Structure 1
Amino acid sequence: MNFGNLAKIAAGVAGVAATGYGVKKAVDYFQNRGQEEPDPETTEDAEVELEADDIAFATLEPESVQPFLDNSFGAEGRYVPTRPPKVFEYQEQDYLVIWTYDNEKEKNQLLAFQCTEDSRQMVASVGYTADATDYNVNLDGTNLAVEISGNGEQITSGQGETDGTDEVDLVPVG
C-alpha cells in the first residue's frame, strides 16, 4: 500500500496536503480521539505492508475540512469540526470521518464517508446529544461499526434513535 490514495482524498476534501502519514494498529487508532502523530519518516510515496489489523492514515488539521463541510452541505458554518478528522485505509478501503457540531440542529454529528478515487459516499450520519442519538448507518460489507459510548451499542446498518451520549466513534467490528 502506498499513501497516494490517502493524499488524494485529503486534497479532494481539504484542498490541502495531508500534514503527515503513519500506520497504527486498528484498535489504537480508533481509540484515539485526538490528533494522530504521523511518522516523520513516512511520505506520500512510502510503500508499507499492512497487516489485517493495521490502519494506514493521513493527518489533517480540523479547520482544513471546513470548506468541504460548507460546500457539501450548502450552508456555510452549519457544521463546525469538533475533533481531528480521520482519513484512513482499513482492509483495502478508504474512509473519511469528521466529528462536527451542527449549529442548525444544535447537536454533535459524526459524518463518515467511504472514499474511492472518483467519489465519496456517506456511510454513516449520527447526530447526538446527551438526551438522544439519531442515526442513519450503512456499513454493511465493511468491518466497521458506529459505537455509541455509554451503552456500548454498535450499529452497522439502519436508521433510528437510541439513548443520548457524549461520544460516538467509528470502530472495527469483532
Structure 2
Amino acid sequence: MSNQNLRNLLIGAGVVAVGAIGTKVATDYLRNRGKEETRDEKEGDVEAQSPQEVSYVNVEQNSVQQFLDASFGKAGRYVPTRPPKVFDYQNKQYMVIWAHDNEQNKDQMLAFVYTGQGREMIASVGYTSSKTDYNLELDGTPFAIEVNNNQIKSGKGETSGTNEVDLVLAA
C-alpha cells in the first residue's frame, strides 16, 4: 500500500521517478546527501520490512523545478541544489527538497508530509553561512532538522549559519 502512495505523491506533484522503489534503514537514508542507488524497474518495488526502514523512490532532481514553480508562484525563484528525498516512513509519505532561493539569495530546505487532505509544509529552513532561519512544525512526526549538530523540532526562529541542513530522526 505505501508504495502506491509514493507513486501517487509523485504523480500529483508532477515529479519524475527514476527506477523502482527501494528500502533503506531510515537513519542511513536521511544522512545520505548524494543520490540513492537506483533499483531496476524490472526488479520491482520493495516494501520496508521494519519500522526502522524507509521505502524511497529516486526522483529526477530537475523534475522538482515545475513543482517548485507551481507551489511558490514564481518560476525560477527556487532551483534544486541536491537530490530530493521522497519516501514513506511508518506509513506516512514525505518529500524533502533542497533549493537555492534566488530572490533572497540563500539556500532552502523544504519538507512536506502528505495527508488525506493533500500536502502540508512541515519545515522551511533558509540558510547561509552567516545565519539560519527556520519555521518548523515537526511535532507529531519522528523528525527534526539538524543545524550544526543541533536538532530543532518546532517553532520559528534563527540560529547560526551553516552550509547544510538535514532532516533527521529526532534523538
- Show CA shifts across 1:52-97 (max 9, x none): 1101001101100001100110000000000011000112211000
Task: Give, in angstroms, the shift of residue 173 of structure 1.
Answer: 1.3
Q: Does the CA contact (< 8 Å) of 1:144 and 1:170 recur in 2? A: yes
Q: Which residue identity is paired with 1:24?
A: K
Over 3 Å off, 4+ runs: none
Residue matched to 2:158: 161
- Show CA shifts across 1:88-141 (max 9, x none): 011221100000000000000000000135411000000000000000000001
Residue matched to 2:36: 36
Unaligned runs of 5+ in 1: none
Residue matched to 1:92: 91
Return the alpha-carbon distance in structure 2 between the equivalents of residues 15 and 62 of structure 1: 9
Task: Give, in angstroms, the shift of residue 15 of structure 1.
Answer: 4.5
Task: Give, in angstroms, the shift of residue 26 of structure 1.
Answer: 0.8
Task: Give, in angstroms, the shift of residue 48 of structure 1.
Answer: 2.5
Distance 1:15 1:85, change over 3 A: closer
Q: Does the CA contact (< 8 Å) of 1:112 and 1:124 recur in 2? A: yes
Superposed counterparts of 1:115-134, under 5 Å = 115-134=114-133
Q: Does the CA contact (< 8 Å) of 2:114 and 2:120 recur in 1? A: yes
Q: Which residue identity is paired with 2:56?
A: F
**Matched position secondary structure for 1:130:** coil
Percent identity over the alignment?
51
Unaligned runs of 5+ in 2: none
- Show CA shifts across 1:5-28 (max 9, x none): 111111111344x11210000111
Aligned residues: 169
Residue matched to 1:10: 10
- Show CA shifts across 1:25-57 (max 9, x none): 0111011101111332553xx462531110100
Q: TM-score, normalised by structure 1?
A: 0.92
* Two-structure CA RMSD over aligned residues (Å): 1.5
